[in-house]
Every structure is written in C-alpha cells, then in structure tokens.
A and B are shown apart, each in its own frame.
Chain A
Amino acid sequence: MTSRLYTDAVFQAHDTGYGHPECGERLAAVLSALEGPEFAPLERRQPEAAHSEQLEAVHNARHVARLLESIPSRGNRLLDADTVVSPDSGQAALRAAGAVCQAVDAVVAGEVRNAFCAVRPPGHHATPARSMGFCLFNNVAVAAAHARSRHGLERVVIVDFDVHHGNGTQDFCWDRPNFMYVSSHQWPLYPGTGDSQERGGSDNVLNLPLRPGAGSAEMREAYSAKVFPAIERFRPELILVSAGFDAHCLDPLAGLEWTDDDYGWLGQRLVELADRLCDGRLVATLEGGYHLAALGRSVASQMREMMKA
C-alpha cells in the first residue's frame, strides 16, 4: 500500500517576516527533497481547512475566534516575541490542522498505509488557550481528538521528537487517558516544560529530556529502552508523530547532535511498531527544523522508511 503526502501552497504563503527561522523556505526545502523518481510513488494531496468543531475539541472557542480575528489584512502582526502572523496565516493554520485530520481519515479507512503532512505553521506548542512558539493551532492534538470523535479510536499515541518539548500537546493529553504523549527533547530549552517527573493524569505522558550535546547513541538508547516499550504497553490503534527535525546537529535553534540517518532510524522503528501494533497506521506531521538542507535530507530519510511499509 502507498504513502501519502499532504501539502498546500498556502503553507509557504504563511509569512513570518524577514529573517524569521520558521519561514516558507523550510517547506520549499522539504518539497524539493521529496522530488525525484524514488518519491514518485508518493501520493500527493491538498488538504481542506479544519472545521471549527474539530479545532474546538482542543482549543477553546474564544481562542479560535480571537486568533482568526487577529490575522492582519496586510503586513505582519506579532502574537508574542516569536510568533508572527500575516494575511495567509489563518488559512494556513486551518489547512495545517485539516491536513493531519484528513491524513488520519485516509489511514484509518485503509486508503493508504501512512501519511506525512508537510505543513506550516507547526503546532505542538499551541495550548488549548494560547498560540505560542511559532505555533497557531495544535495540529497533532486536533487530529488526535478527531481520531477519537470521528473514528471512535480508544488509544492514540503521539510521539514527538522535535528538539523542543510539545507543551501544548502535553496539556491536551494530560487528563485524557485515551491519549498518550511521548516526547524526547533537549532540556533545558524552550519552552521550559518536559521534566521527566511530568507524567500526566494517568501516567499517560512520558518525557525524555536529553542533555545539550546528546547525539545518536543517547537518542537511540532512550528510544529503545523507554519510548518503544511504553508505546507497546499502551497498545495504540494509531501512531501520530510530531516530526520536528531541529535535534539535527546543524540546527541553529538547539544543541543536540542527531544526524540525517537518525531520522531514518526513527522512521524505520516507528513504522515497524505501527505494523506490529496497529496495521501500520501512522501519520506524521512537520513541526520544527530550521537548517534548510538538513531539514530536507532528514524528512527524506524518514519518508523513505515510511514508503517501505
């Protein structure tokens, strides 16, 4: 069965202003790395915008309305020190969340084995009531809630290997035992959450803080010894992945030392786990990753493994 890629030109039109690391060129780098004959079998789809009911399963309605009202008709507007919106940001944010939901629909229906959502803005810092850290809506959380409400899934795991802790996703999962959140991240680092003592309302959160400078060996050890066994015990019906590529050794925003191959290794292991536990159902969505060349290569490494499934 095939893999599918969800993306849209509006994700590049979300303009964060001159010099901002979370820029449209990131998506261009990802898409150009996924050109060429080896990626020809990848089905490409344009997503539709998420519905307000889908968003409001995660975010409070007032926040959704206020965010969409804050989108400027021209120029840029700063929501906090890091988070910038422009005229196309509302549409981009809605389609980013929509993409992950539609990828879940396709994977659960068995149309495709797995899917990657090449979207902007990223989502994992967005909390139920606040946009922050380059993130507007929490795309992966919206998709997890959608998997439960639309498809009746009882157990959904979210694996987050972005170098920053996904505080928004953790907040969403904390008191919801149907969801498990597992994150590896550099610590200390933005946003400051993700201590290993933060374990969720029903032991359904697993945080693996990594010291600055941690490389391939430490990452592989942490995933093999802790992450994969925890996912096995949870017996998910769907694996969602917050795929940030900023733990790469070239990334300018952090200090971990992962390589292109590490993302291939992670992709391969997650695909194996999905095969064994949930008929291969796996949906990954782009979070961070700010070194353009490293981002493109790392996404390609992961995609290659997903396409072997």
Chain B
Amino acid sequence: MFEFVGKKVADAMSSPPVSVRDHTTLAEVDALLDEHGFNGCPVVDGDGRLLGLVTGFDVLRAFRITPDALVPPYHRIMASPVVEHMRKAPITMTPDTPLTRVLQRMLDLGNTGFPVVEEGRLVGVVTRRDVLRVLRECAPPGDGS
C-alpha cells in the first residue's frame, strides 16, 4: 500500500470536469446532477475561474420555508441562477495535494468531493469514488497486506 502514499489528486481527478456557469438555472443544475448521478458540481465564470460549488443539498435548501411566501414557488426558484444558491469559497484541492490528505479531509468534513484548482482555474474534480478507485489500484494483488 506504499504506492497510495505517493498518489496525488492529479492521479485520481476527473479532468476536464463537468461544471456549470454562474447564470445556469437551478433547474438545469438539478437535471445535470440527476443525469450524472453527481452529488455536486463546480460553478465557474466565463474564464473558467472557480466561483463556488453547488450540491443537491443547496438545491433543496432553496426550498426552505421563509417569510417570503407561504409555499415556496417551485418554478420561480428553479428559474433563478445557481450563483444565488451555490456555496462560495468552497474548500479546494490542487493537483499536487496528496490523496491521503484528500481522504482525511473527506472524513473530517463529510464532503463527497472537492473541486481541483490551479491558479484559480478549475482543472478537475476529485470524489470519494476516485479515492476508492486509486486505493483499489494500489492494493497488492491477492490478499497480501
């Protein structure tokens, strides 16, 4: 298992990642998450700079009951841009971050994935599945330790 210790985010991330623009509607985000089975998705500006992260939880949160309406208006909320609902300044990784650090952060924070950023630009996404895949690939054959 020594090999895993040397693995970096660059060895595991999806790149280029699926992302959405700041003006993408919540309805489009919802459809995208559904289509890919993603928990979340990075939000970028026109230059590919990371602005935030939107997850299914954030979409759900848009329907929180507030003093604004007796019942949350579905179509109006789903037509609003993701930039109003995303989480800004998400925790990010760089391609150089060791995967052991990513694994620990996932455990500490309960995150299912992190955007990967290089000089402000989104270059990938690293998820639980990616870490598990690399762990599997680094395991010695058979039942050796």
Using a CB–CB cutoff of 8 Å, the interface residues on chain A facing chain B are 16-21, 81, 212-213, 250-253, 255, 290-291, 293
The answer to whether B97 and A21 touch across the interface, beta carbons within 8 angstroms, is: no
The answer to whether A250 and B145 touch across the interface, beta carbons within 8 angstroms, is: no
The answer to whether B2 and A19 touch across the interface, beta carbons within 8 angstroms, is: yes
The answer to whether A250 and B98 touch across the interface, beta carbons within 8 angstroms, is: yes
The answer to whether B3 and A250 touch across the interface, beta carbons within 8 angstroms, is: no
For B5, list chain A residues within 8 Å (CB). Answer: 19, 21, 252-253, 290
For B96, list chain A residues within 8 Å (CB). Answer: 250, 293
For A291, list chain B residues within 8 Å (CB). Answer: 98
Q: Can you list 18 contacts pairing A with B, beta carbon distance less than 8 Å?
A: A16-B2, A18-B2, A19-B2, A19-B6, A20-B2, A21-B2, A212-B104, A212-B108, A250-B96, A250-B97, A250-B101, A251-B98, A252-B6, A252-B98, A253-B5, A253-B100, A290-B5, A293-B96
User: In the bound complex, how far is the Cα of B99 from the Cα of A19, in angstroms?
Assistant: 14
* Distance of B70 from chain A, by nearest CB (Å): 44
For B99, list chain A residues within 8 Å (CB). Answer: 252
The answer to whether A255 and B104 touch across the interface, beta carbons within 8 angstroms, is: yes
For A251, list chain B residues within 8 Å (CB). Answer: 98
For B138, list chain A residues within 8 Å (CB). Answer: 19
For B98, list chain A residues within 8 Å (CB). Answer: 250-252, 291
User: In the bound complex, how far is the Cα of B98 from the Cα of A251, in angstroms?
Assistant: 7
- Size of B's binding interface in residues, CB under 8 A: 14
For A17, list chain B residues within 8 Å (CB). Answer: 2
User: In the bound complex, how far is the Cα of B6 from the Cα of A255, in angstroms?
Assistant: 15
For A252, list chain B residues within 8 Å (CB). Answer: 5-6, 98-101
Query: Which residues of B, 82-138, contact A by the 8 Å Cβ criterion?
Result: 96-101, 104, 108, 138
User: In the bound complex, how far is the Cα of B98 from the Cα of A293, in angstroms?
Assistant: 12
* Distance of B126 from chain A, by nearest CB (Å): 15
User: In the bound complex, how far is the Cα of B108 from the Cα of A81, in angstroms?
Assistant: 26
* Distance of B108 from chain A, by nearest CB (Å): 8
User: In the bound complex, how far is the Cα of B28 from the Cα of A156, in angstroms?
Assistant: 67
* Distance of A246 from chain B, by nearest CB (Å): 11
User: In the bound complex, how far is the Cα of B95 from the Cα of A293, in angstroms?
Assistant: 14
* Distance of B97 from chain A, by nearest CB (Å): 7
Q: A18-B2, A19-B3, A20-B2 given. 8 additional CB < 8 A pairs?
A: A16-B2, A17-B2, A21-B6, A252-B5, A252-B6, A252-B101, A255-B101, A293-B96
Closest B-chain residue to A213, C-beta based? Answer: B108
